[in-house]
Amino acid sequence: MRYNPFRPNNIVGPGMFVGRLDELHTVEQCLFQTKHGNPQHFLIEGERGIGKSSLLFITEHIARGTIPATRDNNNMKFLTISVDMGRVTSQIDIVRIIARQFKASMSEREALKQSAKAVWEFLSRWEVLGVRYYGEEEPDPEDARDELTNQIVDLLAGPNCEIEGIFIVIDEADRPGEDARLGEFLKLFTERLTRRDCNSVLIGLAGLPTTIAKLRASHESSPRLLEVMRLEPLTLDERKAGSSTRISRSGRKEWV
């Protein structure tokens, strides 16, 4: 029996990013600029199955420092907040899903929890993250958005903050309906961060080619926030190079 190096159900495999180095370098540049107070938000767009989620996955690891950057081999120190917009139906859903993952990401870093106790304690008791019972009114999305902004600002402004910034990863950005107003959320959220002189937050989105039109529908100027990277199908040479990489790395596992 021979070892099969191809894993179609695995989000990342050897050779996955052959032909995607330009996009990886662009995201690394966005992270570098954000680290130095000049965030450059981005959107990765392309058809289904072309590798958008996989590209986001690897950039999260680069941002966290679990793997080094491809260009300078340095390790970054971002807190990553990774969310999927697949089930979002309202703007309060957007705030809620980001806040929940914000809390989950903080929970994995004990030193960060200790250095930002007030933020951690607030997230632990914030009613927006609780269960909504039948008959209860939804919280006001503007108030919730402002409170989320406050907690991010407080975390990054802390005297003993151990991170270089926050990387908010939004996958399936084409999925929210009209009522969610994702474009409006992005525009107002980034404006509030800027007004608070908080310039170490990077937002990266991925979605279908319809994403820009959907963002524009809820806020005309929201697409201007984003550097758009269009993922095209790999060339034949790139596909061959990816296959060769997988095969060569499977050599020591040829027999099972």
Domains within the chain, CATH numbers bracketed:
21-177+225-233 (3.40.50)
Mean pLDDT score across all residues of the chain: 85
Burial class (CB within 10 angstroms; exposed 0-12, middle 13-18, buried 19+) of 130: exposed
User: What local confidence, expressed as pLDDT, does residue 129 receive?
Assistant: 76
For the segment 37-44, the average pLDDT, to the nearest whole number, is 97
Residues 6+ away with beta carbon under 8 Å from 53: 11, 171, 206
Strand 78-84 with 42-45, pairing: unpaired
What residues are paired with 168 via a beta bridge?
A: 81, 203
> Residue 96 above 70 pLDDT?
yes
pTM: predicted TM-score of the whole model, two decimal places? 0.84
Residue with more model confidence, 26 or 137: 26
Other beta carbons within 10 Å of 10: 9
For the segment 114-129, the average pLDDT, to the nearest whole number, is 89
Axis crossing angle, helix 141-157 with helix 117-125, rounded to the nearest 10: 160
User: What local confidence, expressed as pLDDT, does residue 219 receive?
Assistant: 96
* Per-residue DSSP letter, 2: B
User: What local confidence, expressed as pLDDT, does residue 16 receive?
Assistant: 53
User: What local confidence, expressed as pLDDT, does residue 254 receive?
Assistant: 43
CB 202 within 8 A of CB 39: yes
* pLDDT tier, 18 (very low <50, low <70, confident <90, very high otherwise): low
Find the DSSP H helices in the chain: 21-35, 52-64, 91-107, 110-115, 117-125, 141-157, 182-195, 211-218, 236-249
For the segment 173-199, the average pLDDT, to the nearest whole number, is 96
Burial class (CB within 10 angstroms; exposed 0-12, middle 13-18, buried 19+) of 166: buried
For the segment 132-141, the average pLDDT, to the nearest whole number, is 65
> Residue 19 above 50 pLDDT?
yes
Axis crossing angle, helix 52-64 with helix 21-35, rounded to the nearest 10: 40
> Residue 243 above 70 pLDDT?
no
Residue with more model confidence, 109 or 21: 109
Burial class (CB within 10 angstroms; exposed 0-12, middle 13-18, buried 19+) of 12: middle
Tokens of 80: 């990553």
CA 108 from centroid of its chain's CA atoms: 17
For the segment 56-71, the average pLDDT, to the nearest whole number, is 92
Q: What is the DSSP string of 151-183?
A: HHHHHHH-TT---SEEEEEEESTT-S-GGG-HH
